[in-house]
Amino acid sequence: MMNKMIINLIKDFLIKHKKGITLEELENFLSNKKIKKSALEIIYQSNFFKLYNGMIFLKSTLTKFKEDFLKEFDDFLQGKVTKKDLRNNIINYLFVSIPEIFFVKWLDTSLERKILIFELLFNMLLKPIQVKDKLKIYFNNIIEFYSIVVIYSILLLNNSQEDFNVLINNIKNIESYEIVLKNDFFCILTEPENVKVKLVEFEKRLKLIKNDLEKLFQNIFMPCYHFSPKLLNRILNNEFKNFEFISLLSRVEYESFYEWISYLAEETVQPNHNLFKDLGF
């Protein structure tokens, strides 16, 4: 009975804080209620709660966030995609592909912001070849280059030599730029109107990062560039064609870049050759 009472108290507390609470806030709540059980113990033993990105939510609330947002996105899609089956496939795909933190960020957002987010998500899925909107052009540029950064990094991970320290050092060098890409990418999908106002600033930053990272990748993959540029370009083009832009969203679920690309590398079919071995290195 005590456990049920505690769970109901926490449920009522979380209903009032639908955007989630921190572990510390829950500990304080339990302390004020003279409950000595560990907050973590209660969360892990219950099927009602979820600890996500350092925040505690009701599982049912997270599910409702997703359903409500995607229902509105489906309404938006009806003006662009006439086939209901295709719309349903898109919605189901987004339901399992978009990390829950995005739905939390999109909660109670303004209509103006929500429409911009819908446009960007649609652009990310189908990506029209030609777009005139400057925000969409920037968005296309950042997802394309971010994808290339990921592909290079996965190739580096899959084709790394025995010196693990060299690999980690290269990954850290990439991450020093990638962290900015991550933040700007997250920003445009959560606060697109703010990015639109500062678009020139975002574009300049992307250009500088792109320039520096291209030099870094050329240096890391120098044997391939020097001895077989066609092999490298063929593999990069192949990987880019098969890369799903929506997977970039999963970056927010990983603290480090290395952890994230390790996960993506496991999800990707491994190449049947080693780039450096092919070149005799």
What does each of the 281 residues of the chain score in pLDDT, given as a tens digit? 347 888 889 989 998 888 888 888 999 998 888 888 888 888 888 888 888 777 888 888 888 889 999 999 999 999 888 899 999 999 999 999 999 889 988 988 899 999 999 999 998 887 656 788 999 999 999 999 999 999 999 988 887 765 788 889 999 999 999 999 999 999 999 999 999 999 999 999 999 999 999 999 999 888 776 777 777 788 888 888 889 999 999 999 999 999 999 999 987 654 444 444 443 33
pTM of this structure? 0.84
| Planar angle of CA 24, 27, 33, nearest 5 degrees | 145
Q: How far is CA 61 from the centre of its chain?
A: 21
- The span from the CA of 257 to the CA of 16, in Å, is 35
User: What is the DSSP code (8-state) at residue 244?
Assistant: -
pLDDT at 166: 86
User: What is the DSSP code (8-state) at residue 206?
Assistant: H
pLDDT at 252: 93
Length of the chain counted residue by residue: 281
Sequence-separated (6 or more) residues with CB below 8 Å from residue 121:
73, 94, 189
- The span from the CA of 195 to the CA of 226, in Å, is 39
Number of Cβ atoms within 10 Å of the Cβ of 215 = 10
For 105-215, strand residue ranges (E) read none
Amino acid symbol at 99:
P
User: What is the DSSP code (8-state) at residue 104?
Assistant: H
